[in-house]
Structure 1
Amino acid sequence: MRIGYPCVNESLDCTATSTFRLASYSDERVELAVANNLGCLLRILQFNVAQGLLFFRIGSGIVPFGSHPVNVFPWQTRFADEFRAVGDYIKAHHMRVSFHPDQFVVLNSPDAGIVERSIQELVYQGSMLDLMGLDSTHKLQIHVGGLYGDRELAISRFIDTYRRLPAAVTARLVIENDDRLFSLQDCLRVHAAVGIPILFDNFHHECLNHGEPMMEALRLAAATWHPERDGVMMMDYSSQALGERKGKHTATLEEDLFRNFLVDVGDLDVDIMLEIKDKEASAQRACGILRDVGRIAILAGATTE
């Protein structure tokens, strides 16, 4: 079992998503930014390994405007060695990484232009995992998308778009249940149609469900992951911030709630991404809890967002 935290490491003095304004685009700026971002990414990975945090979500902006037509810089060849070095480090330390493309990636949009740009963004982000030499257990995490006033049509459009994605994308793509529109049951319908794994979000399930107990929901989602092709289930973990609007994530790990959640996890092998504000601080505390309950030995996890 690995534990993770999303995308900014607050202990280091660098960012792996440095960028610039589109209006000031130049090949030189791209080259400088990618060099900085990959260098910082390796530093973050090294930090995480030292802390026993081996699950990491990489920020989408490693390459500024990576899927935009304006970016004609051959970053794939210029930084082939650097990407490979990052991938070699990940493999050498038994880490697992993922990407979570931004909310503008909407495969079920009725706007063909948005769908096409979404596909290009997924191709771009998946290509970075390919450049790292990582297998299909390293994932691209998205939501089903928008409702657009018709749940059945929205789900159908996602399925239709999914079926025309490149194989290199579908091998990595997973869908997450959300807190307002598409529940675990909706995601299970999509999985039944196309076989896409479900990345389970416990907090979203608490906000939107059909009465499934947490223990049952975890097992339903875990059953959608093929053990060799996909690896063990990835999931997101958080809890409600007290006194805040429904759905707002807590600022720090509530240790008693996390211990209770582990009871529901039981003997499932899962990699847990903590979507909690204080990031690596909570991840380190979560690892300590896993050690206390005998659920962690060599492996533990982290993220970037």
Structure 2
Amino acid sequence: MKIGYPCVNESLDCTSTSTFRLASYTDERLELTVRNNLNCLLRILEFNVAQGMLFFRIGSGVVPFGSHPVNTFPWQTHFAAEFRAVGDYIKAHNMRVSFHPDQFVVLNSPDAGIVERSIAELVYQGSMLDLMGLDSTHKLQIHVGGLYGDRELAISRFIATYHRLPAAVTARLVIENDDRLFSLQDCLRVHEAVGIPILFDNFHHECLNHGESMSEALRLAAGTWHPERDGTMMMDYSSQAPGERKGKHTTSLVEELFREFLTHLQSVDPDIMLEIKDKEISARRAVAILHELGLASPTPQSLPI
């Protein structure tokens, strides 16, 4: 079982998703920014390995305007060695990484332009994993999309668009149950149609479900992952922020709730992404709990928690 956090490390003095305004785009600025982003990404991965955090969601903006027509710089070839070095580090330390494209990626939109831009973004983000030399167990995570007033039509549009995606994207694509529109049962319908794995979100399931217990929901989601092609099931973990609107994530890991959640895993052994605001701080605490319970291997070069 691996523990991770998304996109930003708040303990380091750099970011792997630095960008600039579209109006100020130049090839020179892009080259400098991508180089700095990749250098920072490697620093973040090294930090995470030292803490035993072996699951990381890479930010979408490693290459600014990576899927935008303005970007004609040959970054794939120019930075091939740097991407390969990041991938070699990930493989050497048995890490797992993913991307979670931004909310503008909506494959079931009735707007053809949005769909085409969404496909281009998935191709861009998947190509980074390809450049790293990583296999199809490293995933691209999206939602089913919007309802647009008709659930059945919304699901059928997603399925139709899925069939148009290049194989390099469908090999990596997973869908997540959300907290308002598409439940685990909706995602299972999509899986039955196209075979896409379901990345389970425990907190979203608590907000939107059809009466499935947490243990049953975990088992159903885990059953959509092919052990060789997809690897270990991925999931997102969070809990409700006290006193806030329903669906707002907590700022920090609530240890008693996390321990209680672990009792529902039973035969499921997922890689867990903590969607919690203090990121690596809570991730380190979660790693310590897994060590205590014998659910994770020893942490190398561990710093005080």
Compute the TM-score of the two structures, normalised by the length of structure 2. Answer: 0.97
Which one-letter code corresponds to 2:134 in the other structure?
L
Map Cα deviations across residues 217-273 of structure 1 (whole Å, 9 max, x no partner): 000000000000000100000000000000000000000000000000123110000
Question: Structure 1 residue 84 and structure 2 residue 84: aligned?
Answer: yes
SS of 1:140's equivalent in the other structure is: strand
Displacement of 1:6: 1.4
Map 1:109-258 onto structure 2 (within 5 A): 109-258=109-258
Displacement of 1:298: 4.8
SS of 1:149's equivalent in the other structure is: coil
- 1:65 alignment counterpart: 65
Counterpart-to-counterpart distance in 2, 1:282 and 1:5: 9
Counterpart-to-counterpart distance in 1, 2:4 and 2:211: 27
SS of 1:159's equivalent in the other structure is: helix
Counterpart-to-counterpart distance in 1, 2:267 and 2:111: 43
SS of 2:145's equivalent in the other structure is: coil
Map Cα deviations across residues 27-56 of structure 1 (whole Å, 9 max, x no partner): 001100000000000000000001111100
Counterpart-to-counterpart distance in 2, 1:236 and 1:95: 17
Displacement of 1:299: 7.7
On the 8 A contact 2:51/2:299 being kept in 1, the answer is no
On the 8 A contact 1:4/1:56 being kept in 2, the answer is yes
Counterpart-to-counterpart distance in 2, 1:20 and 1:149: 37
Counterpart-to-counterpart distance in 2, 1:131 and 1:220: 32
On the 8 A contact 1:139/1:172 being kept in 2, the answer is yes
Counterpart-to-counterpart distance in 2, 1:222 and 1:59: 25
Counterpart-to-counterpart distance in 1, 2:111 and 2:22: 23
Counterpart-to-counterpart distance in 2, 1:131 and 1:218: 32
SS of 1:83's equivalent in the other structure is: helix
SS of 2:199's equivalent in the other structure is: strand
SS of 2:164's equivalent in the other structure is: coil
User: Which piece of structure 1 moves more, 265-274 or 250-259?
Assistant: 265-274
Displacement of 1:12: 0.2
SS of 2:97's equivalent in the other structure is: strand
Counterpart-to-counterpart distance in 2, 1:17 and 1:5: 15
Counterpart-to-counterpart distance in 2, 1:244 and 1:86: 39
Displacement of 1:108: 0.1
Which one-letter code corresponds to 1:155 in the other structure?
I
On the 8 A contact 2:50/2:299 being kept in 1, the answer is no
**What is the aligned-residue identity percentage?**
84
- 1:56 alignment counterpart: 56
Which one-letter code corresponds to 1:23 in the other structure?
A
SS of 2:56's equivalent in the other structure is: strand
Displacement of 1:187: 0.1
- 1:303 alignment counterpart: none
Which one-letter code corresponds to 2:226 in the other structure?
H
Counterpart-to-counterpart distance in 2, 1:26 and 1:9: 27
SS of 1:5's equivalent in the other structure is: strand
Which one-letter code corresponds to 1:252 in the other structure?
S
SS of 1:288's equivalent in the other structure is: helix
On the 8 A contact 1:238/1:250 being kept in 2, the answer is yes
- 2:284 alignment counterpart: 284
- 1:17 alignment counterpart: 17
Structure 1 unpaired stretches of 5+? 301-305
- 1:270 alignment counterpart: 270
RMSD across aligned positions (CA): 0.9
Residues 107 and 273 from structure 1, CA distance in 2 versus in 1: closer, same or farther, beyond 3 angstroms?
same
Counterpart-to-counterpart distance in 1, 2:124 and 2:86: 17
**How many residue pairs align between the two structures?**
300
Counterpart-to-counterpart distance in 2, 1:52 and 1:91: 15
After TM superposition, where is structure 1 displaced by more than 4 Å over at least 4 residues in a row? none
Counterpart-to-counterpart distance in 2, 1:216 and 1:134: 31
Map Cα deviations across residues 254-293 of structure 1 (whole Å, 9 max, x no partner): 0000000000012311000000011001001001111111
On the 8 A contact 1:162/1:170 being kept in 2, the answer is yes
- 2:259 alignment counterpart: 259
Displacement of 1:5: 1.0
| Higher RCO (C-alpha under 8 Å, 6+ residues apart) | 1
SS of 1:200's equivalent in the other structure is: strand
Counterpart-to-counterpart distance in 1, 2:236 and 2:24: 36
